[in-house]
Structure 1
Amino acid sequence: IILLPLLKQFTWLYWLAYGADSNGSGVTVLLELVRLFHHLYSDPRSQAPYHLLFSLTGGGKYNFLGTKRWLEENMDHAESSLLHDNVAFVLCLDSLGTGDELFLHVSRPPKPGTPQYSFIQQLEQVRFPWMRFGTVHKKINLQEATLAWEHERYGMKRIPGFTLSHIENPKSELRGSILDTMAQVDIRKLKRNTVIVAESLTRFMYNLSDKGSAKDMQVFKGSLDIQDSRLSALMTMITSVPRAVQLMDREPEHTLLISSLEQELKHYLRQVHRHTFHPDRRYAHTDMAKIFHLINSLKQDFKRLLVKPATFDLFLGGCIAGYLGIVYYAIKVSHG
């Protein structure tokens, strides 16, 4: 099972956007899932028959460039490969920091009996009754210049996947707003969504429903409880700087964020690898590649000069003329 949120935000105003809900919340949920499943898998007796691959990807604004290049490096052109044969599904986490609804975006409806279908059933069982939950089906349109969701990159490689988000429309302005700050994220709802993802994954991986476990049985409680303070601290770290792909290796605070995320993963995972990708030279002539290289124009200083209105000049000129007239009249009288 591959779990991944998009690390970078979508807006074009990179230096002014911190992407708290989209998609700092998705990264926060993934980091908390890493901690929770680390504790479950630390005991060989409590390990599920599934391996988990956690991934933080960048380049979302550039048609999910990081995911595209990672797939190209880890897949051959044959119909059968390690990813094709061993991945049950890919779950992308996007914008989970607010709202009372959740939507599972899919490229094709899962068929009964498949792992994807079973996972959706677990989501239906675990979600809170007052929440709205729905499956949104959108086919991959190869004629479009950009993809709507990250799971579509996997769908193009015939790897089943879906995206969980409180946003129903991929073109929603919420995904690219410079007003998407920490103030827009509700930690309680972020925790609730984290619980839903963690519990539904656990019920699927351990097949708890078929084993007769109660629907309201909670796995992550006690020492495995999800703490509000940890979620808030992770969100604060992730939204401390803008996360545009062009900035990540240019400023000290941005490289510090990447290093901090890497250390957080290494604290709980045995194998953590960082991959660096560059734009493909074959597409250097395209508009997307040209935009990608406009690095120096991302931040510019503007100067504003405050000048007095023309009426002030007229008033000042009148005062000076009056003063000179008085002086002239005084001199003339004194010599008269």
Structure 2
Amino acid sequence: MFEEASEVFDNMFKSSFPLTFIVFIPAVLILVSPLPAEAAHEFTVYRMQQYDLQGQPYGTRNAILNTEARTVEAEVLSRRCVIMRLADFSYDKYQKALRQSAGAVVITLPKNMSAMPQDIVQQFMELEPEMLATETIVPVYFAMEDDELLSIYTQTLTSSSSQGSLSAAEVLLHTATANGFQMVTSGAQSKAISDWAITSLEGRLAGVGGEDLPTIVVVAHYDSFGVAPWLSYGADSNGSGVSMLLELARLFSKLYTYKRTHAGYNLLFFVSGGGKFNYQGTKRWLEENLDHTDSSLLQDNVAFVLCLDTLGNGDSLHLHVSKPPKEGTPQYSLLKELEMVVSSQYPEVKFSMVHKKINLADDMLAWEHERFGIRRLPAFTLSHLPSHRLAQRSSIMDVRSVSPSSRHGAGEPPAGPHVDVKRLSRNTKVVAEALARVIYNLTEKGAPGDLQIFTEQMQVQEEQLSAVVDWLTAQPRAAQLVDKDSSVVSTLEYHLGRYLKDVKRHYVKADKRDPEFVFYDQLKQTMNAYRVKPAIFDLLLAVCIAAYLGMMYLAIQNFGVLYSVVRRITQPKAKAH
């Protein structure tokens, strides 16, 4: 019976090869074909800055990615997505990817950046301005590391680094068997945002004793900046400055509530937007108040403008001026009062005046007070930083974290930006005491230098300072992300309204014909890492399938012979009698 069945199958295969082809090919493809590519991991990426300032483009110009992943160790990076870890990042590696026309660069960041070694943090902060100095065609993204992303990086690193040490045959085999990852973004190409409004806020405390009173202006910009807008939290620069301004507004609003302490100075508080983009909010505010109105405190007797910038750390205070104040002027009085308060009450603090002339040839102004200096208003900036060039003023590493104070020497700026609330509280009290001594003319009245005004019920509230910094650093505050309906603006307006009168908003929109600034969208996207096989795998798979079908065809054509061989091998031998 078995012999008859074999003859039937043999005749069927020999006479009906097309039927055999139809039956066997789908079965073979189903059995040996790989599974369809699946999304191995979906994660959020944050694109590098893209903006134009005074007609000059900065940052990356592209936002679309669909290419295979590699690490920088691979020999060929052309049209590949180069993945780098912050711990291993260097400017030379970054430039290598750009020179080889990489399809994109993805830099992965640890979730807890404050735990990174300080030398790596400092190195990256110094590289951020260089990365933004010129426009880059290659899209550049940042992503927060997780287990899946680290696994993708490890597998890609193994694949990229092993190819250089293998023979040609080993490389071919390794390439065919290794898993690759296709990196694909879900967003569209970036485009300019039209009619974007930068919002600034002002409020005032009116003095008593006549209409023609001198005005003291206190200024701080609230926006943050870094290589990636969605990762720019600006804790020290300038969350600390805004927190100090709000606390000063609270303290002096109490003094101005009572007749006995109501001083003969107008106090004007201004929270500016667009500070990181050459102080666009301050520029427009000055134009509105000095050029287009007849009723402005800035057109009256301005005693001085005090700008607050990066005051949340360090044991130094530097008063940056464009023109040294002359003796007998209110600004000279503030300088001396700051020196007196520091020396008599906080001897651990080193105070100094830093003189730097305004360089109108520079594309960017150094400090916010220079905007006022250009309009011939006496102004200066108070900061714990000795120079405007220090990298922590514009870095995504400027996050809300506390490092041990012993890590830094006295007067030495910290390697990694952070806010020390105790030092911020101390600096706030220094400014408050010095301002009060100027307003009430305490030195000429013979008040000792160690006299403290803000004590007991009037003391600086460290908890409130900390709460404001926490709130400000709970969301990125890049100018491209803070519109007029943002919770940042509305909450700042609410806090100013609690302490000040005549709180109002000021908006800045770029000129349509010759825009001072242009922002772009697609700064935050979703990226998918698809697990894929390389093209060489498909070629080898096709060869294997063809060989298999060839062997099956020969076996079918010679089924009788094959059956006889198998039967002889499997048939039991006859027992010898």
Q: Partner residue of 1:92?
A: 307
- Identity of matched residues, %: 52
TM-score (norm 2): 0.52
* Cα distance, 1:300 vs structure 2: 2.9
Pick from 223, 231, 236: which aligns with 2:470?
Answer: 236
The question of 1:29 aligning with 2:255 is answered: no
User: Does the 8 Å CA contact 2:227/2:395 hold for their aligned counterparts?
Assistant: no
User: Does the 8 Å CA contact 2:273/2:282 hold for their aligned counterparts?
Assistant: yes
* Cα distance, 1:83 vs structure 2: 2.3
- Higher relative strand content: 2
Q: Partner residue of 1:47?
A: 262
The question of 1:116 aligning with 2:295 is answered: no
Q: Partner residue of 2:434?
A: 200
CA–CA distance in structure 1, aligned partners of residues 336 and 567 of structure 2: 108
CA–CA distance in structure 2, aligned partners of residues 112 and 99 of structure 1: 29
Question: 1:1-336 to 2 correspondence within 5 Å?
Answer: 1-76=216-291, 83-127=298-342, 128-183=346-401, 184-249=418-483, 255-284=486-515, 289=517, 292-294=518-520, 296-306=521-531, 335-336=567-568
* Cα distance, 1:132 vs structure 2: 1.4
Question: Gaps spanning 5+ residues in structure 2: where?
Answer: 1-215, 402-417, 546-554, 556-561, 569-577
User: Does the 8 Å CA contact 2:289/2:299 hold for their aligned counterparts?
Assistant: no
Q: Partner residue of 1:324?
A: none
CA–CA distance in structure 1, aligned partners of residues 525 and 387 of structure 2: 32
Structure exhibiting the larger radius of gyration computed from Cα positions? 2
CA–CA distance in structure 1, aligned partners of residues 442 and 395 of structure 2: 40
After superposing the two structures, state which structure 1 stretch, 67-76 or 299-308, moved more. Answer: 299-308
SS in 2 for 1:203: helix
User: Does the 8 Å CA contact 1:84/1:158 hold for their aligned counterparts?
Assistant: no
User: Does the 8 Å CA contact 2:235/2:398 hold for their aligned counterparts?
Assistant: yes
1:146 counterpart letter in structure 2: M
SS in 1 for 2:320: strand
Question: CA 1:77–1:230 in 2, change beyond 3 Å: closer, same or farther?
Answer: closer
User: Does the 8 Å CA contact 2:308/2:382 hold for their aligned counterparts?
Assistant: yes
Q: Partner residue of 1:325?
A: none
CA–CA distance in structure 2, aligned partners of residues 307 and 34 of structure 1: 59
CA–CA distance in structure 2, aligned partners of residues 87 and 34 of structure 1: 18
Q: Partner residue of 2:93?
A: none
User: Does the 8 Å CA contact 1:75/1:82 hold for their aligned counterparts?
Assistant: no
1:300 counterpart letter in structure 2: Q
1:159 counterpart letter in structure 2: L
CA–CA distance in structure 2, aligned partners of residues 192 and 82 of structure 1: 30
CA–CA distance in structure 2, aligned partners of residues 282 and 207 of structure 1: 50
User: Does the 8 Å CA contact 1:10/1:60 hold for their aligned counterparts?
Assistant: no
Question: CA 1:227–1:155 in 2, change beyond 3 Å: closer, same or farther?
Answer: same
* Cα distance, 1:298 vs structure 2: 2.1
Question: Gaps spanning 5+ residues in structure 1: where?
Answer: 321-327
* Cα distance, 1:62 vs structure 2: 2.0
Moved over 3 A (4+): 305-310, 331-336
Number of aligned residue pairs: 323
CA offsets 1:112-162 (integer angstroms, 9 cap, x no match):
111111100000011121211111111111111111111101000000000
- Higher relative helix content: 1
TM-score (norm 1): 0.87
